[in-house]
DNA sequence: CCGCATGTTTGCGG
DNA sequence: CCCGCAAACATGCG
């Protein structure tokens, strides 16, 4: 559940189930998930309660009544599970029991997720060198950011210290909808192209977030629905190809996306 | 068995 | 110092 829209959905999920309830039990899973000593998680969470949540990029911050902040990074397969039955999920890495008996688990099969305890959102943000939350950036700020950035456009958009929240799937989507080849160098993009990238980014994040939270299907014209080798491009001409950019599988249409 | 998967980090080389 | 690339992490799916 990893990129900005999925994390936004997890935020809504937690907000609507788990705020303002006293935590009466804490169960911990695989040690590698926990970025502070496991004992600290126990003592910080027990007898505490979540008061509000904040999202920056792919991170979710759960602020607590007694001061500290539980920070969740979902990795590739993490998600929350709120339940009132008795079977705890096989891959639960953290399970909290609330006073009314309901439970909230952090599920993470591949164990790429991480849990932190932070003193404040700001100090955590500085430590992790997190850039601005993608859907909050203004067009002006986006253009400024691109002025001083070099390298391939895909690598830049994936860089969490540059812009926080975009991942492999939606960067491919943005570049596809802009008609920009993912290996294009930022130095070679003109202002119109960067502006178009900004607009597509905002539009896609909004559309996908709505898709996650309200179940509205994604448009058929999205690369997302055709994202595998040899598929027909939704624009009608080419066939989707896969290359590696920044070490990640990158799907694109060679007809629609020319190298700049 | 093989390749691939929404992410991040580390080490190496240019 | 910057950039790019490969590998590693762990599990599931086709």
Give pLDDT tens digits for A99-140. 999 999 999 999 999 999 999 999 999 999 999 999 999 999
Q: What is the pLDDT of residue A169?
A: 96
Buried b (16+ CB within 10 A) or exposed e, A181-198: bbbbebeebeeebbbbbb
Q: A158 CA to B11 C1', in Å? A: 21
Chain B nucleotides near the protein (CB, 7 A) = 4-9
Q: Looking at the structure, give the CATH architecture of the domain made up of residues A139-252.
A: Orthogonal Bundle (1.10)
Give the span between the Cα atoms of A16 and A48, in whole angstroms: 18
Angle (nearest 5°) at CA A142 between A138 and A147: 150
Pick the CATH number of A4-128 from 3.40.50.150, 3.20.190.10, 3.30.2270.10, 3.40.50.1000: 3.20.190.10
What is the average pLDDT across A46-58? 98
Q: How far is the CA of A88 from the C1' of B14 (A)?
A: 50
Does residue A195 approach strand C to less than 7 Å at its CB? Answer: no
- pLDDT, averaged across chain A: 96
* Intervals of CATH 3.20.190.10 along chain A: 4-128
CB A129 within 7 Å, strand C: no
* CA of residue A150 to C1' of nucleotide C1, angstroms: 14
pLDDT per position as a tens digit, A136-164: 999 999 999 999 899 999 999 999 999 99
pLDDT score at A1: 67
Q: Where in chain A is the domain with CATH 1.10.8.50?
A: 139-252
Mean pLDDT of A169-184: 96
């Amino acid at each position: 559940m990893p990129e900005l829209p999925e994390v936004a959905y997890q935020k809504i999920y937690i907000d609507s189930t788990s705020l303002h309830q006293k935590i009466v039990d804490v169960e911990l899973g695989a040690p590698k998930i926990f970025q502070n000593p496991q004992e600290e998680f126990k003592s910080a969470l027990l007898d505490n309660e979540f008061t509000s949540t904040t999202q920056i990029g792919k991170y979710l911050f759960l602020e607590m009544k007694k001061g500290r902040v539980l920070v969740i990074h979902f990795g590739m397969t993490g998600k929350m599970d709120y339940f009132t039955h008795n079977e705890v999920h096989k891959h639960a890495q953290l399970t909290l029991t609330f006073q009314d008996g309901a439970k909230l688990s952090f599920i993470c099969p591949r164990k790429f997720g991480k849990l932190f305890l932070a003193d404040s959102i700001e100090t955590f943000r500085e430590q992790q060198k997190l850039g601005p939350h993608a859907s909050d950036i203004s067009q002006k700020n986006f253009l400024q950011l691109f002025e001083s950035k070099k390298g391939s456009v895909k690598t830049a958009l994936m860089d969490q210290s540059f812009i926080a929240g975009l991942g492999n799937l939606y960067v491919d989507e943005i570049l596809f909808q802009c008609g920009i080849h993912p290996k294009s160098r930022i130095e070679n993009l003109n202002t119109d192209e960067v502006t178009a990238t900004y607009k597509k980014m905002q539009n896609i994040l909004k559309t996908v977030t709505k898709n996650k939270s309200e179940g509205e299907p994604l448009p058929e014209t999205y690369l997302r629905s055709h994202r595998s080798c040899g598929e027909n491009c939704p624009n009608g001409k080419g066939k989707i190809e896969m290359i590696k950019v920044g070490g990640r599988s990158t799907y694109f249409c060679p007809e629609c996306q020319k190298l700049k």
